[in-house]
Amino acid sequence: MTLIPMDSMQRRRIEDRTRGRHRVRVVTAIAAIGSGVLATVLSLLLTGTAATAATTNTSTSNTSGDTATQNTQSNSDQLQAPTTTPAQTDIGGGHGSSGGS
């Protein structure tokens, strides 16, 4: 089997293709690392903000010493369950037909 030698044009094309593939690998790696770092930083920032907000709400204190006022202030920003359950109403009699044909 005889190998045909490459001329300079073919060699240049192969080298250009190799350099192009290398650039694509590098850019892809940088993009993957950058997106991972960005996701980590955002999650840390959002977690830190949520933890700070929760700590701030629970650590609110009243310097006057009135515990009733202190409890009202610290619980005013939190959701509370209703004290009574809603009344059951039977409007329309269930899932009957509407009279249409």
Contacts of 15 (CB under 8 A, 6+ apart): none
> What does the pLDDT read at residue 52?
67
- The per-residue pLDDT for range 11-54, each reduced to its tens digit, is 999 999 999 999 999 999 999 999 999 999 999 988 877 666 66
What is the average pLDDT across 70-82?
A: 62
Q: Say if residue 69's pLDDT is above 60.
A: no
pTM, to two decimals: 0.42
